[in-house]
Chains A and B, each alone.
Chain A
């Protein structure tokens, strides 16, 4: 039996989506801890190898300290560490991947040519790993097609950083080294994949994305970690092991009409948090609270400074590392009461409604010079800006007189 640990997308030193300095620092150390945990897992399970399917770090930003951590952690293992490069850490000339003084047990596969490593345990060959790495930042070729399995008596494992069409959350990732599910041929007993940060099995194939090892922003919610894999004649069995010490989670509150004070808001968020908490007891949390709808506390929840206070208060109250409140609450006004009315507000709401439907109207509303000059699609951007604008229009027009 070939036993190994499969991780990917560690993204050491990549920027994180935290609002506080404290949380940013914690996430940085959390990535370190997650990597240590992966090494610990390899040791505890007496795995024969540690496979890293790309994006071990963000090439540009990796610090000397992180390099030192990588070397010291991998040196703890007396089994091979097989690391293929990804789009973030390609093995080109200026890349750090090939310039780090790796310990002897680390096999870096940084080229676009397949490389096969036989893995031994207790003096006998237990498996073979064939990997292919990214040489450049943006690989458009199908790397998987270049891999071919070998006829051998031991399990054959492929490790590659690639985008597979049709996988969940695949749309959030660049289509580097694109491949189709059909390309994952039967020449290998297990496909150790990387790139897509959401952990999943590809169809019903023995092909797995472990997901990234530590969530870095609100798009990477839920448990994060690696896979402990056992491959033998009977097939592959992959067990997800949570390695991330900090977990992101999103709580959406759409009905906040009754949130008339801080205690109500805190209790409501805490209640929602309790729903997700059992899946990750003992972890630290970064909680994204999405608030929408009409709320009596709209003023506080729309004010930037007050919002920061609310976030700090919620974090303390719930006992999490950070709370990010995404507030889209509005004043408790019945917008529809004004819609169609014979007054300017009715006309304004009508204009906004028309802008949603009429490209010309939207175009006329958008400023010629957008503050967000980088916007490619003005119409889409405009439609995004229109979200919730009716409520704001009513609030502003009615003012405090209502």
Chain B
């Protein structure tokens, strides 16, 4: 393929640049710095392979203008191809072949497809750096050239394979002592399996511990039961002794019903009975003497105050009444004087009412007047009297009114008639001046007539009213007289003064009331005098009668007698009180005497009974019986005390007996010692068991908290998974390393012979026949390149071979690779940017020659800013294309 024309609308610094008419295959592009050589260098790749971020798109103009370029090419077959590419936010492209245009977007041109873009850039676009012998040495370079055909975008396959193997070895190794990841996992697995065994043992031990603990707890329960039983036995041993003693005492006491009721100390009881009997007898005697003495005192008092005491109630009554009697005697004279005064006042009042009457005659009649009726009648009479006076005045008034209305009526009638007549006359006569007065008179007469008519009417009414008043007056007059008659009737039998009877008003009532009051007061005083006299007479007779009965003189004054009787009564009462006391004392003495007698009888009976019972128990011997009873009682009491003691201590004696019987408890010392030893042994075993249980429980707790087999299995599984991953990873890496090695080997086997042959040709040209071929030898870890000199010697391409020779070998290999890759395909142009400039004259000429020979197979474009180099190239036959700045 030959590039013939290039049109650049915009590509980096190049803008609207057209390079046309490139006709040769060996071309030098000259231009000063900044003329766009590097852009053109990159542009050729862009035309072939499209626009990419890591290369051509770096040349997008900064002013946001679209990147746009096109080129014309002529293929080896003569066919012309035009390519257009543009970048405006996305890649566009089209190709025109044989007049047929089609879109290719950003695709590689079909005739360049056999060389990938990376490979093209690596091999066909040679700049100064890529042609320079690598500073790191030949090993990497020869690896690159021999294995990868100089592809720097690929890492050396042998290196990759080696890394894979190394990496795989770090993961797994067949050697036991290798420190691989797999080994680490294996160790971890070993440790985990050990843990698992331990966990399994722990689980087994845990189960055994649980069973063992259960056994220990069962035994502990048994030991505790035994301990409880032995503890009970030990408690029962002293109780057993006590109960045995109680039983002995009960046996000694015998049947207590036999001595039931007998004293526990019979001899003492008998002595006490005798002593008590003596005391009672002595006391009885003393009391009988006291009773006689008291009796005598009572008799003496009775003899002295018998009469007074018999009259004592009368005397007390008399003394109580004596004050009133003495007062009655003292007021007797005064009452008589009052009676006389009241009688005189009553006589005076009666005479005021009825001057002709005597007090004694009308006193009862005055007092018996119906006072209420009298006051009512007097009141009614007074009302009627007032109404009657009113009616009388009204009558007089009506008489006067009816008489006064007669004269005006007549006058007005007369005047009316006269006026009418005057009017008629004046009219008839024609007397004009009389007409007015006549008419006036007529009017007045008419008014007078009307008034007379009204007055007449009024008079008729007055007459009617007078007649009514007269009727009323007459009716009241009758009532007035009827009331007066009623009052007279009420005062019948009393010669009342006529003055009061004519006008029976309030004065009559007052007079009668005064008379009645005076009469009543007089009568009252008279009754008092009478009553007082009766009291005095009765009291005096009664005192004298009592005084005689009490042996006093009846002639003494009433007051003296009362005093004497009072004194005698007091003395008698005093004596009587003393007698009552003596009698009470005497009663007490008699009661005590009776009690003492009863006591004596009881004690004597008791003593007899006791003596008989004791004698019976003692088989007729009182002394022996007493001793026997006393001993049995003592045994019984002691047994009871012991039982009470047990009860106080909270023992159920029957229960205790049952337990003793059930447990066959003995009370002997040997048995007790055996039990105590057994108790100690059981306690020891119990403590031992508790300690063992505690230990086992702690162990169980520890084991329960320990990790289980399943937990460790989980970790083992995880570890196995990791190990499996590592192993697979290792196998995978080894597989890949093998694939890399095989692939690399196959690639080299396919390409290296031809490359070496071609490279040998170039080398021969470059070196002028000094070296004529190349070969390689794969050694253990590296590929060694040899060159063959004319003498057939093999020289490894390494030091001490000169750098110049090595650079020549390098260039020859590159060109050979390109030829090899293009074999059978359209040869792609080789572009070289500023190469050869550092070579010396001789080597440069040789280099130019080799490029020229390379141009026989493909277009070779050299880019330089050095005019001298451009001239040398032109001299060597290169076509010059000059770029302006």
Contacts and interface: CB of A to CB of B under 8 A. Distances in A.
Contact of A344 (B157, B172, B713, B738): B157
B147 A389 contact: no
A113 interface: no
Interface stretch (B93-101, B381-389, B725-733): B725-733
A351 interface: yes
A342 B163 CA distance: 23
B742 interface: yes
Given A364-B738, A372-B724, A342 B160 contact: no
Given A63-B203, A64-B206, A344-B148, A367 B735 contact: yes
B406 interface: no
B709 interface: yes
Interface string B713-756: 11111100100101110111011101110111011101100000
A58 B735 contact: no
A18 B714 contact: yes
A364 B711 CA distance: 42
A343 B708 contact: no
A182 interface: no
Contacts of B746: 347, 350-351
A348 B157 contact: yes
A343 B742 contact: no
B463 interface: no
B709 A60 contact: yes
Interface in A370-391: 370-372, 381-382, 384-386, 389
B207 interface: yes
B750 to A, nearest CB: 8
A393 interface: yes
B326 to A, nearest CB: 116
B114 interface: yes
Interface in B139-172: 147-149, 151-155, 157, 160, 163-164, 171-172
A319 interface: no
B48 to A, nearest CB: 16
Contacts of A65: 704, 708
B210 interface: yes
A56 interface: no
Given A24-B715, A347-B744, A342 B149 contact: yes
B116 A343 contact: yes
B736 A342 contact: no
- Which of A61, A343, A349 has the largest number of chain B CB atoms within 10 A? A343
Contacts of B735: 365-367, 382, 385-386, 389
Contacts of A341: 116, 119
Interface in A1-29: 12-19, 21, 24-25, 27-28
B115 interface: yes
B421 interface: no
A389 B731 contact: no
Interface in B53-72: none
Given A24-B714, A61-B713, A371-B171, A392 B154 contact: no
Contacts of A402: 153
A22 to B, nearest CB: 11
Contacts of B708: 13, 61, 63, 65-66
A402 B117 CA distance: 12
A371 B147 contact: no
B611 interface: no
Contacts of A398: 153-155
Contacts of A369: 174
Contacts of A27: 714
A355 B735 CA distance: 10
Given A18-B714, A343-B151, A351 B709 contact: no
Main secondary structure on B side of the interface with A: helix
Nearest to A346: B747
Nearest to A402: B153
Interface residues of B, number: 59
A366 B115 CA distance: 32
B413 interface: no
Contacts of B152: 401
Nearest to A350: B743
A234 interface: no
Interface in B578-607: none
Interface string A160-181: 0000000000000000000000
A337 interface: yes
Contacts of A21: 715
A143 interface: no
Nearest to A57: B710
B714 A16 contact: yes
B710 A367 contact: no
B119 A385 contact: no
Contacts of A342: 114-116, 119, 149, 751, 821
Nearest to B164: A396
B25 interface: no
A396 B708 CA distance: 44
Contacts of B819: none
Q: Count chain B CB atoms within 10 A of each CB in A18, A62, A63 and give the residue with the most.
A: A63
Contacts of B147: 344
A393 B743 CA distance: 11
Contacts of A384: 728
A385 B740 contact: no
B731 A371 contact: yes
A352 interface: yes
Contact of B207 (A19, A64, A346): A64
B834 interface: no
Contact of A351 (B155, B164, B172, B739): B739
A58 B703 CA distance: 20
Nearest to B199: A63
A379 to B, nearest CB: 12
B714 A371 contact: no
Nearest to B700: A64
B182 interface: yes
B744 A348 contact: yes
A283 interface: no
B116 A397 contact: no
Given A64-B207, A372-B724, A28 B710 contact: yes
Closest 10 CB pairs of A and B: A348-B743, A13-B710, A371-B727, A347-B747, A371-B172, A347-B743, A63-B708, A15-B713, A24-B714, A371-B730
Interface of A: 12-19, 21, 24-25, 27-28, 58, 60-66, 337-338, 341-352, 355, 364-367, 369-372, 381-382, 384-386, 389, 392-393, 396-399, 401-402
Given A15-B713, A384-B728, A401-B155, 14 more contacts: A15-B710, A15-B714, A16-B717, A61-B710, A63-B709, A341-B116, A344-B147, A365-B742, A366-B738, A371-B182, A371-B726, A385-B735, A399-B155, A401-B154
19 contacts: A13-B708, A13-B709, A24-B715, A62-B710, A65-B704, A338-B116, A342-B114, A344-B147, A345-B157, A352-B739, A364-B742, A367-B734, A369-B174, A371-B182, A371-B730, A372-B727, A389-B739, A396-B160, A397-B157
